[in-house]
Amino acid sequence: MKRLARRKSVDEAKPAALWMNTFADLMNLLLCFFVLLFAMSNVDEEKFNQIAASLSSSFSIFNGGQSSIGDGQLINMGVAQLNEFEQYFSNMGKTTEDTEGEEIEELKQFLTEANKVETDKMYDNISEMSTQYNLDNYLDIETDQTGGQYVLINISGSLLYDSGKAQLKSEAIPIFSKVGDILKTYKGYRISVIGHTDNVPVVSGVYRSNKELSAARAINAAEYLIDVKGINPANIEWIGRGEYDPIADNSTEAGRSKNRRIEIRIYNSLNTN
């Protein structure tokens, strides 16, 4: 009687399946282990931000790891959906030097506007105090027309000094004292006292030139502000400019009279240090 060969059962496990099951269990355990480690770990936010900033500066795409440009739509939603696409498109192809140049110009404009705002406020305040002290007939007050860094108080030299001399006249002391009271309200601000003369040469007296005469007048005015009015010497400077910065025509007596003057510049807080 012929026997049929025994058919192998399809459910019978192959020898290889035994180690594969063990390996799969091991992988699952390892995965759970790393998930637990990650769950218990703390992300260093500062280091993450530093890495994100480094990537941003290197690739010039995202700021701080963000996934969109500005407040617009995500990039993968299509360039046509960017709210500020024209701005980014206009910046394409610009070199680093071009971008830095634009940023410098914007910064200069911002500083100019900030100087102007603060200096205008100082001008209004000083003009008001000048009226309160009845000094309007003795002082010319204006702002710096180039950079808006200071308020300028212009005092006639003939009002403060005798011809060829550098000592303050006794009748000028009450007027100059009130000027010192105005300056005291700007404690800590940089103050510059500048002496000017006309172009008529010094022919006699203690001083050999207009430069020496103007410097001596500026020094005496500054010393009065320091010694009598209590201005901090660390915040005040004195300069003699002689005949080199005229504001009027030296060919006429009226012009020469305007050029003989003392200027006091009060710099705003942005230009004090």
Strands (E), 129-267: 139-143, 150-156, 191-196, 236-240, 261-267
What value does the mean pLDDT take over residues 187-199?
A: 95
Q: What is the pLDDT of residue 126?
A: 97
Q: For the residues 126-155, what does the mean pLDDT come to?
A: 95
Q: What is the pLDDT of residue 17?
A: 61
Please say whether the dihedral angle defined by the alpha carbons of residues 7, 9, 10 and 13, taken in this order, is positive or negative: negative
Q: What is the pLDDT at residue 16?
A: 54
CATH code of the domain occupying 114-271: 3.30.1330.60
| pLDDT of the residue at 3 | 45
Which range (37-46, 231-240, 250-259) has the least confidence? 37-46
Q: What are the tens digits of pLDDT across the range 51-110?
A: 566 555 554 544 444 444 444 444 444 444 445 545 544 555 555 666 677 778 888 888
pLDDT score, position 109: 86
155 phi and psi, to 5 degrees? Answer: -120, 130
| β-sheet bridge partners, residue 140 | 154
Helix (H, G, I), strand (E, B), or coil: what is residue 240?
Answer: strand
Distance of CA 86 to the CA centre of its chain: 30
pLDDT mean over 11-28? 67
Answer with the residue of higher pLDDT: 146 or 176: 176
Name the segment(s) of the chain with CATH classification 3.30.1330.60.
Answer: 114-271
Whole-number pLDDT of residue 220? 96
* Confidence band, pLDDT 50/70/90 cuts, at residue 40: low
| Percent share of the chain, pLDDT over 90 | 49
pLDDT bucket at 190, cuts 50 / 70 / 90:
very high
- Looking at every residue in the chain, the average pLDDT score rounds to 80
Read off the tokens for 178.
Answer: 């009130």
Q: What is the pLDDT of residue 54?
A: 57
Give the CA-trace dihedral at 181, 182, 183, 184, to 10 degrees. 50
Q: Which residues contact 111 (CB under 8 A, 6 or more apart)?
A: 270
Calculate mean pLDDT across residues 185-211.
92
Mean pLDDT for the stretch of residues 133-143: 96
pLDDT of residue 69: 43
pLDDT at residue 238, as a whole number: 97
Q: Quick one: pLDDT at residue 85?
A: 46
